[in-house]
A and B are shown apart, each in its own frame.
Chain A
Amino acid sequence: MFVLVEMVDTVRIPPWQFERKLNDSIAEELNKKLANKVVYNVGLCICLFDITKLEDAYVFPGDGASHTKVHFRYVVFHPFLDEILIGKIKGCSPEGVHVSLGFFDDILIPPESLQQPAKFDDTEQVWVWEYETEEGAHDLYMDTGEEIRFRVVDESFVDTSPTGPSSAEATSSSEELPKKEAPYTLVGSISEPGLGLLSWWTSS
């Protein structure tokens, strides 16, 4: 689920923090910059693991702060393809089942990857697995708050950096706000034996 990513960055320490140990100031700055943020094509950054190398710190003319090039390792949430994860159902919509891990919310299980046959119950807004047994069809509801085991089948990164001024002029004329896209989304699947709500597979 988590990986260690090596990164390099230049950290700016303002003069009023010079009395603190350099390592502590740098750690704080890096966490301030990266914690709980998605880095494009890398994943959701959790926290600093360690600092591997500190290069010489420079002070530039006109700016009293020191600039240090830092090599460090960061803990990043980036599940590998086909990894099994357990999350909680956040809700259902015609697009599929939305799953959350608490610290990461943008996981979708599309209708074709649900245990088949599945149907969407409009009145209760839940997806239902119509499980066939000899007695007849059993309706298994995918309720909000239930724990669900799923497999990661796809991921997508969207670059959400702000666009330049030329395109802003074109969109400012329209009234609607630009749609907020999640920078990092996972697509899951539960179409295998053992996947789906934990309560479906536990033998009491």
Chain B
Amino acid sequence: MEVALSPSQECKFHESRDQCPFTCCLALHLAHSRKDANSALLSNYEVFQLLTDLKEQRKESGKNKHSSGQQNLNTITYETLKYISKTPCRHQSPEIVREFLTAMKSHKLTKAEKLQLLNHRPMTAVEIQLMVEESEERLTEEQIEALLHTVTSILPAGPEAEQKKNTNDDMTMDEENPA
């Protein structure tokens, strides 16, 4: 089976895809031009959507789901869905992602940095500094605050944060209405 070289590998022999006769490079130009290496990145939300749709499809045509060959697919889809469902990506939608990317244009971040912000929804400056390279030199404190504000206002909170918010609301209600 021929596989495209991963983005971190580069074809050692040719400068551009058109010159390269290797079948591995026929697959995509990922290996050749570093700038296109990022075009293959997927956000967690996209994978979540894909796997949920796949699960629905397979539920509808139920008969062959349990054949031994499908066991691996079942396992990996279940585990990956379980992992992503606990992240803030769960409540995202294509419109939210589009809005987020438009808002991010002014901040001049790389594709990988924007992807991390989208996947993790950082709520503190420390997290931003982890995800944005050399943030002390590229962003001032106000810019970091503005970035945090954009992220938390556009992207929906994760399931755990929502749970915490609900228990806080319950507590304040009890205080207002003494038995």
**Could you tell me which A residues sit within 8 Å of B by CB distance?**
1-10, 28, 31-32, 35-37, 39, 41-43, 46-47, 49, 71, 75, 77-78, 80-84, 86, 101-103, 149, 151, 192-195, 201, 203
Contact = CB atoms under 8 A, between A and B. Distances in A.
Nearest to B23: A8
B73 A32 contact: yes
A75 B28 contact: no
A2 B47 contact: yes
B70 interface: yes
A52 to B, nearest CB: 9
Interface stretch (B78-86, B100-108, B138-146): B78-86
A190 to B, nearest CB: 11
Closest 3 CB pairs of A and B: A103-B79, A36-B76, A194-B126
B70 A31 contact: yes
Given A3-B41, A75-B42, A84-B116, A37 B72 contact: yes
Nearest to B42: A2
Contacts of A194: 124, 126-127, 129-130
A42 B120 CA distance: 24
Interface residues of B, number: 48
A32 B1 contact: no
B96 interface: no
A155 to B, nearest CB: 9
Contact of B1 (A6, A7, A81): A7
Contacts of B109: none
A1 B130 contact: no
A47 B76 contact: yes
Given A2-B47, A36-B72, A75-B50, A7 B4 contact: yes
B154 interface: no
A192 B76 contact: no
A4 B40 contact: yes
Contact of B76 (A49, A80, A103): A103
A127 B42 CA distance: 34
Contacts of A201: 124, 126
A5 B4 contact: yes
Given A1-B119, A47-B50, A103-B80, A36 B6 contact: no
Given A8-B2, A194-B129, A28 B80 contact: no
Nearest to A81: B8
B95 to A, nearest CB: 21
Contact of A42 (B3, B80, B119): B3
Contacts of B44: 1-2
Contacts of A7: 1-4, 27
Nearest to A2: B42
B64 A28 contact: yes
Contact of A47 (B2, B3, B73): B73
Given A2-B42, A3-B41, A8 B75 contact: no
Nearest to B83: A102
Interface string B53-82: 010000000001000011011011101101
A43 B3 CA distance: 11
B7 interface: yes
Contact of B3 (A5, A10, A46, A192): A5
A75 B6 CA distance: 13
Contacts of B82: 102-103
Contacts of A102: 79-80, 82-83
B3 A39 contact: yes
